[in-house]
Amino acid sequence: MAVPNPQAQIHIRTYANTCPPRHENARAVAVTVGSLTVTPVLQSGGSSFGAEVAGIDWAKPIPEDQVKQLITLQDRYAVLIFRGTGLDNARHIAFSQQLGEKLEINPFFYGRENDRLGEPLLFDVGNIELDSSLVKPDSRRWHHSLGNALWHTDSSYHQQRSKYSILLSHGNPVYGGSWTHFADTRRAYADLPAEKKAELEDLIVEHDLWHSRKLASPLIYGNPLPHELAAKPPAFHRLVQVGPDGRKTLYLAAHAKRIVGWSLEDSQTLIWQLIEHCTREEYVFSMEWLGAGDMVWWDNRQCMHRANPYTEQMTARDVRRSTIIDDGREAFGVKV
């Protein structure tokens, strides 16, 4: 009798390191908004998703009226891309602090002594170690980063979740597939049939960081370490929410583990059906990282995103993220 191989039954969720073909809707027609030039990325009917914004003088602090203007654009497009900003850590943080009272503090997953940036308000999501070598395949950090390549929103596993993330690149251009992919959960929600919307309206979802780590790397994160579990307990949020521009949206992520009151299996079936729906080609675009200073600011409340999985072919990728804690109506989720 054949001895069953336990690994054969383990399902690893992942995506290829590729950039999907550009959808035909991706037509770049720039519009002028005050002193800014705004080039939408994905447009369909009355809906716009993603925009590249030029015309900001990043060398100086951003004036408050321009911050307001940018927030209005952000509410509408959900993802704003800026090229060649030239920002350093301090200016990255200063701009982030203009967008909300509190920034997330990095829990230093790999130990403070191993944190290359040494800056608690920034998350090092790149592939570079303290000694400048690239993250080793099969290290714990490598496996942790695999979860970032699944569709998610940042920090949905926090009971006080985060509204914005701002990812800034440093260093040389990256070779080997440096894209970040974005999906419009507002348009995806709007396109659902009315019966489906009614079925989803009151559902509450348990989000757990360790769930997404396990899906991406069951062999390493099948059983997270006790201090990891203690550092990130699960959180609960409504599935259907009203985004900052007043449109309904699906608040979803690979962290989404269970629908409250449902079995794990039924929960995962629905959650992944919805993630697959939200990430159909017509709702998705991919931002290519072109060089140092490129920066993307997204709204976790009205889109999902994912990284390309790191590969051994990818060159050094130095990307640093600030995360702005939510202070809006749904910031604290649901008590269960």
| Binding region for Mn ion (CB under 5 A) | 154
CA 181 to chain centre: 9
Residues in CB range of 331: below 8 A, 6 or more apart? 160, 161, 163, 325
The span from the CA of 9 to the CA of 213, in Å, is 17
Interface with ligand OGA (CB under 6 A), residue from 78, 121, 150, 167: 167
Residue with smallest beta-carbon separation from Mn ion: 154
Sign of the dihedral defined by the CA atoms of residues 76, 173, 305, 273, in that order: positive
Reference 162, options 300, 296, 254; nearest CA is: 300
Residue 167 near which of Mn ion, ligand OGA, none (CB within 5-8 Å, type-dependent):
ligand OGA
For residue 208, state whether it binds ligand OGA (rule: CB under 6 A).
no
Residues in CB range of 63: below 8 A, 6 or more apart? none
Interface with ligand OGA (CB under 6 A), residue from 73, 257, 321, 325: 321
Residue 125 near which of ligand OGA, Mn ion, none (CB within 5-8 Å, type-dependent):
ligand OGA
User: In which residue are the tokens 């950090």 written?
Assistant: 141
Question: What stretch of H or E contains 274?
Answer: helix 264-278
Reference 174, options 119, 115, 128, 137; nearest CA is: 128
For residue 307, state whether it binds ligand OGA (rule: CB under 6 A).
yes
* CA distances for 42 relative to 34, 78, 188, 204, 290, angstroms: 21, 11, 13, 30, 19
For residue 300, state whether it binds ligand OGA (rule: CB under 6 A).
no
Least Å distance, CB 34 to Mn ion, is 30
Binding to ligand OGA in span 118-137, by CB under 6 A: 125
Angle at the Cα of 229 (from 223 to 231), degrees rounded to 5?
Answer: 150
Residue 217 near which of ligand OGA, Mn ion, none (CB within 5-8 Å, type-dependent):
none
Least Å distance, CB 47 to Mn ion, is 23
Interface with ligand OGA (CB under 6 A), residue from 154, 208, 294, 299: 154
Interface with ligand OGA (CB under 6 A), residue from 48, 85, 148, 286: 148
User: Tokens for 315?
Assistant: 């060159």
- The site for ligand OGA, by CB under 6 A, has a size of 10
Least Å distance, CB 319 to ligand OGA, is 5
Between 319 and 325, whose beta carbon lies closer to ligand OGA?
A: 319
Contacts with ligand OGA by CB under 6 A lie at 125, 148, 154, 165, 167, 180, 305, 307, 319, 321
